[in-house]
Each structure stands twice: as structure tokens, then as C-alpha cells.
């Protein structure tokens, strides 16, 4: 099967950082780098006339910063900000950032992002085959012509990925076209505990809580800083 690739554009006004991002991107055959720009003002006309899949953007740039560029390009599915300033994180997610990397880029951190990018595009394809209906104690996931019945009690955790949610049991995973925020607002998922912007778990499956992680059965999940209070009292 031929490798699926995703077009990518890099924008950074610092030459060393720009070349570093390019070097990292070239390590991943799934990325097809179709443009590298020093300024957002130069990248914008190119991007307005060409559909791309992935943006790797600096934030602090003259004339037009990365956040402003992203606001003009909200149709691009994946936007990863690469910046020297951690304080921009909240603003970046307000413009639907897929991920936020702080310079200098660490190889293992970039690898994690690329793994998520690949999973995201795979999920967008698969999720078109799934539908979800809710009951009191069960959910029904439509996979093609089949109806898969899941007991809510069997779901270990939810993983949100933009407009999709991965539903994970101890043995299977399913992806549905619904954001994790929307699912958690429904009554059947009201008992799930949000531990991160992208994760929610069933409290009774939590085995252990550490400073930055929750151990749930065989899974280890991250804890978001703003969600730590939800875990108070859980050992």
C-alpha cells in the first residue's frame, strides 16, 4: 500500500529555528513539505491559494504573527505551533491548535506530535464509517452495516482529537464523529472524570495518580494542569 502523505508548510522568522523545524519534518515521510517561509505575510498568499494539511508555525513574527495567520487559515486541519514562549499556549488553543511545542524542539516530543498527526488523519477517515447512539447504560456504534453494542461500564477512557473522540475499552477502540466536550455533556458520560483537555476516564478504573499522570488499567494518561483539582482525594 502506498504511503499516505500530508502537505505541510513551515513558517518561522528565525533562520536556525526554521531549518531545525524543516530537519525534524524531513524525518517523517508522512509529511510533504511544500513551502518554507520566513514571514507569515509571505506565507498567507501561498496558503490562500493552496490547500494544505499541516501547518508548523512560529508565533512571535513581525507584521503578522502566527496566531493571526492561523485565524486566516482555520480550514487547515492541523496547526502545530512551535514557539519560544510557553505563555501563548492558551491563545493558541483558542485558534484550534493541534499541538504546542516549546523551542528548542526535542526529538521525542516532535515524534509524539507526528504520531498524533498520523492518528488524527487515520481517525478522520475511519470516523466517517461510524455513528453513535446513546442509551441509559449502553451506547451503540454503527460500523458500516453493523451495530456494535458497548456497555458504558466497559469504557475505560475517552480520548479527544479535535472533532473526533476515541472510545477505549480494555480490548477495543472505536472512533466517533463527536468532540469529547460534546460527549461529556450527555447524560451517559456524565460520570466520566475530565483529567486533561484531551482525556476523560471512569473514576472506578483509576489505579494510581501521580503528579502528571493517571494510571488506568494498562494505560497511562496525562493530567492537565487545570484539571488536577478534579483528582483531589484519589490516591
| Cell triple for 78 | 492541523
- pTM, whole model, 2 decimals? 0.58
* pLDDT for residue 129 is more than 50: no
Predicted local distance difference test score (pLDDT) of residue 156: 92
Averaged pLDDT for residues 98-121 = 93
In terms of Cα–Cα distance, which of 165, 160, 170 is closest to 207? 170
* pLDDT for residue 1 is more than 50: no
| Chain position carrying cell 494544505 | 52
The pLDDT-based confidence of 126 (bands split at 50, 70, 90) is low
* pLDDT for residue 128 is more than 70: no
What does the pLDDT look like over 145-204, one tens digit per residue?
677 888 888 899 999 987 888 899 888 888 888 889 888 888 778 778 999 989 999 888
C-alpha pair distances (Å), 132 with each of 68, 145, 174, 187: 36, 13, 10, 14
Predicted local distance difference test score (pLDDT) of residue 121: 85
The pLDDT-based confidence of 136 (bands split at 50, 70, 90) is low
- What span, in angstroms and rounded, lies between the C-alpha atoms of 47 and 210? 43
In the chain, pLDDT over 90 holds for what percent of residues? 49
Q: What is the mean pLDDT of the chain?
A: 87
> Are 67 and 44 spatial neighbours (Cβ–Cβ below 8 Å)?
no
Predicted local distance difference test score (pLDDT) of residue 182: 85
- What span, in angstroms and rounded, lies between the C-alpha atoms of 77 and 10? 15
Predicted local distance difference test score (pLDDT) of residue 52: 95
Higher pLDDT, 22 or 206: 22
| Cell triple for 31 | 509529511
Domains of the chain as residue ranges with CATH? 6-125 (3.40.50.2300), 131-231 (2.40.50.1020)
In terms of Cα–Cα distance, which of 87, 85, 55 is closest to 71? 55
- What span, in angstroms and rounded, lies between the C-alpha atoms of 63 and 84? 18
Predicted local distance difference test score (pLDDT) of residue 28: 96
* pLDDT for residue 208 is more than 60: yes
What does the pLDDT look like over 82-102, one tens digit per residue?
999 988 888 898 899 999 999
What does the pLDDT look like over 2-27, one tens digit per residue?
578 999 999 999 999 999 999 999 99
* pLDDT for residue 234 is more than 70: no
C-alpha pair distances (Å), 168 with each of 21, 61, 94, 146: 33, 40, 27, 19
Amino acid at each position: 500500500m502506498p504511503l499516505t502523505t500530508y502537505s505541510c508548510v513551515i513558517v518561522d522568522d528565525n533562520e536556525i529555528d526554521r531549518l531545525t523545524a524543516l530537519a525534524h519534518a524531513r524525518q517523517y515521510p508522512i509529511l510533504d513539505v511544500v513551502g518554507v517561509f520566513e514571514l507569515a505575510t509571505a506565507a498567507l498568499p501561498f496558503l490562500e491559494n493552496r490547500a494544505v494539511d499541516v501547518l508548523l508555525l512560529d508565533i512571535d513574527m513581525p507584521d503578522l504573527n502566527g496566531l493571526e495567520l492561523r485565524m486566516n487559515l482555520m480550514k487547515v486541519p492541523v496547526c502545530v505551533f512551535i514557539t519560544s514562549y510557553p505563555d501563548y499556549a492558551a491563545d493558541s488553543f483558542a485558534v484550534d491548535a493541534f499541538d504546542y511545542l516549546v523551542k528548542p524542539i526535542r526529538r521525542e516530543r516532535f515524534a509524539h506530535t507526528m504520531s498524533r498527526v498520523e492518528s488524527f488523519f487515520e481517525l478522520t477517515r475511519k470516523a466517517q464509517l461510524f455513528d453513535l447512539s446513546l442509551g441509559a447504560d449502553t451506547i451503540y456504534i454503527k460500523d458500516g452495516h453493523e451495530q456494535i453494542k458497548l456497555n458504558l461500564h466497559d469504557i475505560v477512557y475517552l480520548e479527544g482529537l479535535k472533532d473526533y473522540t476515541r472510545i477505549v475499552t480494555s480490548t477495543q477502540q472505536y472512533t466517533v464523529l463527536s468532540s469529547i466536550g460534546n460527549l461529556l455533556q450527555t447524560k451517559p458520560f456524565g460520570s466520566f472524570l475530565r483529567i486533561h483537555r484531551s482525556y476523560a476516564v471512569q473514576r472506578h478504573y483509576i489505579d494510581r495518580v501521580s503528579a502528571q499522570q493517571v494510571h488506568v488499567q494498562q494505560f497511562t494518561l496525562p493530567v492537565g494542569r487545570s484539571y488536577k483539582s478534579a483528582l483531589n482525594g484519589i490516591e
